[in-house]
Amino acid sequence: MNPLKIKHQQSGNNVNANEIIQHYAAMERDFQNWSFSEASLSGVDLSSADFSHANLNGANLSKANLSGGKLVWTDLNRANLSQANLSFVNLFHASLLWANLNGATLSGANLSSARLNYANLELVQLRETNLTEVDLEGALLTRADLTRANLFKAILKETDFTGANLDNAILRESNCEGAILRAASLRRVDLEKAQLQETILNEADLTKADLIAADLSHADLTNAILVQVSLELATLLNTDLSGANLEQASLFNANLEGAVLKRANLRNTDLRHANFKNTDFTGVIFSGSRVKGALFNDVVGLSDQQKQWLKENGALNIC
């Protein structure tokens, strides 16, 4: 056995950066259960190394190459991983609370069940990354690239995705309560049964997104692009959709009680059996929409001409 490893196992002391570099140069790749807290390893090549269950709390790994490595159940709390290469790294159940991953590359990585609460992931590369059941509550992911990432059942409460790219990502059954997705790209994203209460989605692009049975109560979707979006069975209680483009969208059997649809585009939209009780339709365009069975109890903002058209096309409870 390598003498450095024997020394570590016998003493249990924290290992300094020079020892790690020396150990790696001697072709050792097994660093499981070792303690490297506060170590300075900026720019160091540690690719394919196994740091499972290791302590890297507060370590400086900025610009380091950890690609292809294992960091399963590793303590990386408050570590500096800015601009680090973490491509195809296994971070299953790793803890990265308050970690700095600004500009890091994690394409193809496994972050399932990892904890990244309040971590900085601004401009991070997470394309096609496994983030199933990850905890990103309060994290910063502004302008991050999550194209085709898998965030199934992820915890994204109050996470900031401003300007991020989530095209074709999977967020099915995720918890996005209070998340910020302002001006984010969510084209063809899977948000079925997601919790999006009080989420900020103003000016976001959700073209062809799947929001079936999602809860968007009290969400801000002002000026959002919702063309051909699937909102069947969705809950949009008191949701603000002012200026939103819902052309060719489906709101079949959706609940929009108390919603605001001022100046919204509802051309060729499926509104059948939707609940619009107390909804504001000021300046809305309905041309080509299907409205049979939709409930319009106590709505405001409809012109006499629109009321007549809705009645003729099967809408219910038009005052």
User: Residue 249 gets which letter from DSSP?
Assistant: -
Question: How high is the pLDDT of residue 319?
Answer: 79
Label residue 287 exposed, middle or buried (CB < 10 Å: 0-12, 13-18, 19+).
exposed
Label residue 25 exposed, middle or buried (CB < 10 Å: 0-12, 13-18, 19+).
exposed
Taking the mean position of all CA atoms in its chain, how far away is CA 146? 8
Rounded to the nearest 10 degrees, the angle between the axes of helix 3-11 and helix 17-25 is 140
Question: How high is the pLDDT of residue 137?
Answer: 98
**Phi, psi torsion values for 5, nearest 5 degrees:** -70, -40
Q: What tokens were used for 256?
A: 């929009």
Taking the mean position of all CA atoms in its chain, how far away is CA 218? 18
| pLDDT < 70 regions, the chain | 1-13
Q: How many CA atoms lie less than 13 Å away from 149 in the CB half-sphere?
A: 28
Question: How high is the pLDDT of residue 13?
Answer: 58
Q: What tokens were used for 198?
A: 């009080």
Question: How high is the pLDDT of residue 6?
Answer: 40
Measured in Å, how far apart are the chain's first and last C-alpha atoms? 85
| Letter string b/e over residues 121-155, b meaning 16 or more CB atoms within 10 A of that residue's CB | bbbbbbbbbbbbbbbbbbbbbbbbbbbbbbbbbbb
What are the residues whose beta carbons fall under 8 Å from the beta carbon of 300, sequence distance 6 or more? 278, 279, 280, 281, 282
Answer positive or negative: Cα dihedral of 253, 258, 259, 262. positive
User: Residue 223 gets which letter from DSSP?
Assistant: T
312 membership: H or E segment, kind and range: helix 304-312
Using alpha carbons, select from 126, 80, 134 the residue that is nearest to residue 105.
126
Taking the mean position of all CA atoms in its chain, how far away is CA 290? 32
User: Residue 16 gets which letter from DSSP?
Assistant: P
Question: How high is the pLDDT of residue 9?
Answer: 43
Question: How high is the pLDDT of residue 267?
Answer: 97
Is the CB of residue 256 less than 8 Å from the CB of residue 274? yes
